[in-house]
Structure formats: C-alpha cells, structure tokens
A = this chain, B = another copy of it.
C-alpha cells in the first residue's frame, strides 16, 4: 500500500506512534479516482487542500503560446501535490494527470489538524519541497546541457530511483503509465526525437521503455550516459541496485531545534 511508503517517508523526521500512524491513515481515507488528462489545478487558481497521489502519474506543467507544453515535474505515488499553493494567491502553473490517478483528498483543515497531531509532518512536507526544488534545478541542467540521449537516460534514472523508493519496482522493471509525447514534453524534445532516442537506448542495451513499462538493462551504464548523481533526491538508499537494502543503519541525523523554527 502506498500510504505505507508515505508514512515511511514521514518516519525519517519523527518517531510515529501507532495512533499517529492511524491518524495519517484515516486522514487519507477520502479518495477520488481521476481520468487521464484531467486538470487537477489550473494556472491562476487557488486551492483549499492538497492531494496525496495513491496510484498513477500526474505532472506540473505550463502551456506555452503555440500549444506546446512543458512539464516541470512528474508527480508519482506518495507525492503530495501542492501543499504550498495555499501560501500564494494563485498557481503559476497547472497540475494534471497523465494516467488514471487515485488521490487521497486532504482538506486544508485536516492538514492543520494532522500537523498538530504528527509533529514531524510539517518538517517532512517542507523537506519534500526542498527535494522538489533540487529536482527542478536538475531538470534545468538536463534540458540545458545534455544531449537527447543523455537527457533521457537521466530522466529514466531519476524515475526508476523514485519509483524504487516507494517500492513500485519489480526487479529491474517498473510501470511508467505515460506516453512518449509526455516524455517529450518533460525532456523538451519532439515526440519524434524521443522515439529515436528510445530506440537508441534499447540498441545500447541500457533501457527499454515500451508499453508503459520501463526496463533497466544496465543501470550503471545508464547513469554514466545520463550523468546521473542521485544525491539530489536524498533517498535513503541512493541506488536502486545496491547490493544490500537498508543495512540496518539509522536515518541521517537531523538538528532537533529545526522542529520549532523551520530555519
């Protein structure tokens, strides 16, 4: 269950009692199923709550004059989509689904209540924000300085690592329910060129993306081609193909005062 992954993420910041975990679970009980290409939040709108993605893919995007779309982030299961929209008075981009998506609806009120009952939550949310910010910076590098092949390799490394972190990979494979056009809009490439690039990745025996499934043949090689350094994702387990999983080590130390000040 994906909520377990979410709770696991929270546990990097706070020890949760069974009651607290139950509180998180019950707050996520109200779910909604959305069709593909559904606009969750339109540019300019404000929001009254947030959604936790339980299954499927969504994205942040901006439409450009000429009908082109730039995707600036993929939102995958376990991601909160837009906690911070409420701090500003109107979104500067849109959020929409790419595949069928199931979300847990968290009203603003229930989030407030939850943050009071679960002390580490606020910190976890802000921490996620920082990781997202770092990811966006990485995307600037990607579209700015890397070739189509390298760019695509990098994105696949990122996606596979993130999917692995929420336990949605099976051996060297995971489901990525998006089209080549959706990839193109994220990579700032034409769909045609994405297609050629995918074939090249396949020919190089690095990765295969087909029928909405990503298969990694050679992670090391893919990482090298893409210049991928997983540090910015701040995962517990930086490589999805490391020999030992969670070697009994404790989570990274964190300053205790941060809880109160957020600075």
Please tell me the size bucket of the interface on A: 35 or more
Residue of B with least CB distance to A255? B86
Docked CA distance A40–B159 (Å): 32
Docked CA distance A93–B130 (Å): 13
Smallest CB separation, A242 vs chain B (Å): 19
A204 adjacent to chain B (CB < 8 Å): no
- Chain B residues within 8 Å of A64, by CB: 141, 145, 227
Docked CA distance A105–B65 (Å): 43
User: Is A262 touching B262 in the complex (CB atoms < 8 A)?
Assistant: yes
- Chain B residues within 8 Å of A115, by CB: 261, 263
User: Is A70 touching B263 in the complex (CB atoms < 8 A)?
Assistant: no
Smallest CB separation, A237 vs chain B (Å): 16
The majority secondary structure among interface residues of chain A is: helix
User: Is B137 touching A72 in the complex (CB atoms < 8 A)?
Assistant: yes
- Chain B residues within 8 Å of A199, by CB: none
Docked CA distance A4–B64 (Å): 37
A132 adjacent to chain B (CB < 8 Å): yes
A143 adjacent to chain B (CB < 8 Å): yes
Binding site for B on A (CB under 8 A): 60, 62, 64-65, 68, 70, 72, 83-84, 86-90, 92-93, 108, 111-112, 115, 122, 125-127, 129-130, 132-134, 136-137, 139-141, 143-145, 188, 227, 231-232, 234, 252-255, 257-258, 261-263
Query: What are 18 sample pairs from A and B whose C-beta atoms fall under 8 A apart?
Result: A68-B145, A70-B141, A86-B255, A86-B258, A87-B127, A88-B127, A92-B231, A122-B261, A122-B263, A126-B126, A129-B133, A136-B136, A136-B140, A140-B140, A140-B143, A143-B188, A145-B188, A262-B262
